[in-house]
């Protein structure tokens, strides 16, 4: 629900409640329950329960490692049947929908597993309708903003559950309690952590992140709003766990939107991980765009953030000498791990966890780029894995490392930090040098594909003749293309000159920035031009087939393509065979700027299939 749809008086009343330390009580526990069940209905329920138990016993013998089996609540049938496109005829049979969650590693066999489950169910009760999914299928519902469908699956009554249904159920209940009272303030309710990554254990918490919109608060300080809402949100944990039948699992983290965004700009690893791994259970249009921007590389650390990550190692020598073993060990780890994550971000990678940091540093800077000597990867691995993780898991105790060994580790860490400072300069140089090559390759590659030319000179000549002189693009685009090519050549010459000074002068760095701006403007215009061409080409070949019983989209290309709903088929002789988006796009591209022809013999075949119809252009 959009905040703008709420009236001011309602907002003021909610803030007034908060100001008065009002803690609302949920009404979920006061719903009326019927104590009398018709005997016939009771017998039917008992029979169904036995049949479901039988299905569970038989399917678990056939398929190992099933994560969960649950009965989807009857009140969610309509939503589920719409989502999975179940026919009206089947819907009328009062289906019993059963959710079956299998491990992600079995995804390759999901087709056969689904067939086995359906066959087993049909033998027991032909009204059983089995939905076989993996955890990623469930997470994708959240990423597609299908929150109602995700909630329907989460509220399934568990017949078998190794933890995933319980985790989903308690988060959905807690979310509902929070939104029931404070939907106005909640921007996003997101589940994350080990559950989403598939690393959950019996002792794992269920991490949820709640982002509060503090941009429209008028009557109380933002921090006061956060603390008031935090108290209420935490008060709902016990109630949600009681309803869900889960104990000591839910672990909410609450952020104000303004604070959260500041942390993202400062490249805080927790926020990056939250955006990267999190799955929204509710979102008012904030979290999913952040996730898309991070995936596209548009959320990047500022130079100040990189400086912040790097600076944590500067006082390493002094702190190690002053602290006792456990504190020194902690400083050693964070002193090299945090700057390393900063450089991996500077290189263009998302801040990883401890194990991935060690792995990526070796793979990227030692093996792939050959910028760092292998001994520094060994230092990082020893301190991060052997020492820190060993200390964290109790394998290494304070008495196991003497002062001499601690001095050696400290010396290695300080040497590592000094080497990272040099590595930062190397990365920044290489990034600047490589960026102009990529800019040039991208813009000329796009033009070459459009104009069917390869060399830069041929592309420039064709661009001028076909697109500049015809008035499709302004003259400055041609001048800017020549400038990009010249800047690339100038930088290539400077790159070959090995001196103690930076390879790129300040003047050349500014020229690279100019080239980037030119290329952005040109590529944006080219994409719009190409899209207009594609749409024009598509419209020439597209018709709507209106029949007596059904409608379809028809494309007259090398083949005739028929699209009905999400199904794409093509005409092969007198049969329709399965096709896909890729094949349709390929033929649309081939047909671009060509005339479309309609074969009347093929129209006769369509008439036999669809009956009498008319084509609408």
Is pLDDT of 91 > 80? yes
Judge whether 329 lies within some domain: yes
- Give me the chain's average pLDDT, please: 80
Is pLDDT of 238 > 80? yes
Q: Let me know whether 85 and 173 are in one domain.
A: yes
Domain that holds residue 586: 548-616
A 10 A CB-CB count for 69 gives 23
Q: Let me know whether 438 and 380 are in one domain.
A: no
- Cβ atoms of residues 275 and 231 within 8 Å: no
Determine the Cα–Cα distance for residues 435 and 613; give it in Å rounded to an integer. Answer: 56
Q: How far apart are the first and last CA of the chain?
A: 39
Q: Let me know whether 266 and 181 are in one domain.
A: yes
The b-or-e profile of 370-397 (16+ CB within 10 A means b, else e) is eebeeebbebbbbbbeebbbebeeeebe
Name the most confidently modeled range: 26-30, 181-185, 200-204.
Answer: 181-185
Judge whether 319 lies within some domain: yes
Question: Which of 278, 295, 312 is at the close of a domain?
Answer: 295
506 DSSP assignment: H
Question: Which of 481, 514, 535 is at the close of a domain?
Answer: 535
Q: Is 96 helix (H, G, I), strand (E, B) or coil?
A: strand
| Domain CATH for 166 | 3.30.460.10
Q: How many domains does the chain have?
A: 4
Q: What is the pLDDT of residues 301-359, one digit of tens each?
A: 666 566 666 666 666 555 544 454 665 567 788 888 888 888 888 777 876 788 888 99
φ/ψ of 280, rounded to 5, equals: -75, 135
pLDDT at 25: 38
Q: How far is CA 42 from CA 182, 233, 270, 490, in A?
A: 39, 39, 51, 84
Q: What is the pLDDT of residues 47-86, one digit of tens each?
A: 888 999 999 999 999 998 899 999 999 888 888 888 888 8
Q: Let me know whether 89 and 205 are in one domain.
A: yes
Q: Let me know whether 116 and 226 are in one domain.
A: yes
**C-alpha dihedral sign at 215, 219, 222, 225:** negative
Q: Let me know whether 381 and 443 are in one domain.
A: no
φ/ψ of 613, rounded to 5, equals: -150, 170
**Residue count of the chain:** 617
CA atoms within 13 A on the CB side of 43: 2
> Between 593 and 20, where is the model more confident?
593
Q: Please state, for a pLDDT cut of 70, what percent of the chain lies above it.
A: 81
Question: Which of 420, 442, 466 is at the close of a domain?
Answer: 420
- Cβ atoms of residues 230 and 187 within 8 Å: no
- Cβ atoms of residues 82 and 152 within 8 Å: no
Q: Let me know whether 224 and 85 are in one domain.
A: yes
For the whole model, what pTM was predicted?
0.48
Q: Let me know whether 311 and 378 are in one domain.
A: yes
Q: Let me know whether 344 and 492 are in one domain.
A: no
Q: Let me know whether 203 and 263 are in one domain.
A: yes
Judge whether 255 lies within some domain: yes
Judge whether 485 lies within some domain: yes
Q: Let me know whether 53 and 153 are in one domain.
A: yes
Q: Let me know whether 376 and 454 are in one domain.
A: no
- pLDDT band for position 272 (50/70/90)? confident
Judge whether 147 lies within some domain: yes
Judge whether 277 lies within some domain: yes
Judge whether 21 lies within some domain: no
Closest CA to 257 of 284, 278, 231, 294: 284
Cα 206 to the center of its chain, rounded Å: 19
Judge whether 1 lies within some domain: no
């Amino acid at each position: 629900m959009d905040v703008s749809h709420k009236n001011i008086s309602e907002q003021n009343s909610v803030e007034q409640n908060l100001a008065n330390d009002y803690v609302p009580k949920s009404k979920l526990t006061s719903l009326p329950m019927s104590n009398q069940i018709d005997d016939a209905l009771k017998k039917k329920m008992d029979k169904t329960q036995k049949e479901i138990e039988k299905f569970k016993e038989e399917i678990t013998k056939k398929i190992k490692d099933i994560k969960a089996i649950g009965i989807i609540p009857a009140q969610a049938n309509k939503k589920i049947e719409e989502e999975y496109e179940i026919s009206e005829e089947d819907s009328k049979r009062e289906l019993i929908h059963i959710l079956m969650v299998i491990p992600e590693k079995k995804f390759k066999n999901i087709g056969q597993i689904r067939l086995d489950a359906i066959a087993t169910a049909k033998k027991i009760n032909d009204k059983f309708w089995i939905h076989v999914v993996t955890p990623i299928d469930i997470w994708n519902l959240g990423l597609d903003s299908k929150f109602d469908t995700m909630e329907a699956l989460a509220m399934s009554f568990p017949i078998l559950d190794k933890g995933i249904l319980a985790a989903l159920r308690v988060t959905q209940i807690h979310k509902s309690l929070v939104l029931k009272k404070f939907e106005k303030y909640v921007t996003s309710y997101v589940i994350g952590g080990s559950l989403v990554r598939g690393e959950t254990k019996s002792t794992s918490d269920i991490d949820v992140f709640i982002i509060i919109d503090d941009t429209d608060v008028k009557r109380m300080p933002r921090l006061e709003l956060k603390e008031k809402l935090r108290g209420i949100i935490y008060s709902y944990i016990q109630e949600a766990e009681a309803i869900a039948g889960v104990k000591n699992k839910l672990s909410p983290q609450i952020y104000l939107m303004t604070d959260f965004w500041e942390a993202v700009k400062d490249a805080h690893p927790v926020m990056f991980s939250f955006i990267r791994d999190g799955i929204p259970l509710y979102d008012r249009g904030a979290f999913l765009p952040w996730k898309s921007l991070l995936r596209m590389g548009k959320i990047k650390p500022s130079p100040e953030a990189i400086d912040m990550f790097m600076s944590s190692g500067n006082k390493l020598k002094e702190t190690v000498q002053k602290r006792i073993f456990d504190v020194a060990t902690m400083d050693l780890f964070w002193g090299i791990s945090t700057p390393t994550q900063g450089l991996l971000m500077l290189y263009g990678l998302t801040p990883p966890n401890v194990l991935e940091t060690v792995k990526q540093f070796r793979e990227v800077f030692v093996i792939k780029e050959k910028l760092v000597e292998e001994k520094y990867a060994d230092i990082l691995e020893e301190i991060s894995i052997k020492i820190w993780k060993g200390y964290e898991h109790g394998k290494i105790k304070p008495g196991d490392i003497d002062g001499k060994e601690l001095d050696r580790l400290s010396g290695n860490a300080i040497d590592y930090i000094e080497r990272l400072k040099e590595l930062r300069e190397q990365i920044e140089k290489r990034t600047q040098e490589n960026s102009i090559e990529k800019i040039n390759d991208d813009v000329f590659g796009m033009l070459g594909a459009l104009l069917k030319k390869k060399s830069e000179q041929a592309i420039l000549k064709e661009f001028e003749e076909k697109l500049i002189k015809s008035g499709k693009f302004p003259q400055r685009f041609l001048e800017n293309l020549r400038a990009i090519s010249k800047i690339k050549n100038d930088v290539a010459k400077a790159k070959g000159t090995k001196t103690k000074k930076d390879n790129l002068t300040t003047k050349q760095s500014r020229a690279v920035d100019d080239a980037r701006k030119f290329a952005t403007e040109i590529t944006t215009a080219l994409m719009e031009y190409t899209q207009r061409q594609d749409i024009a080409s598509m419209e020439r070949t597209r018709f709507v087939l209106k029949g007596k019983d059904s409608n379809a989209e028809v494309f007259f290309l090398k083949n005739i393509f028929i699209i009905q709903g999400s199904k794409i088929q093509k005409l092969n002789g007198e049969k329709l065979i399965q096709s896909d988006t890729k094949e349709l796009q390929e033929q649309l591209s081939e047909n671009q700027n060509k005339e479309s022809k309609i074969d009347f013999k093929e129209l006769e075949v369509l008439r036999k299939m669809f009956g009498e119809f008319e084509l609408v252009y």
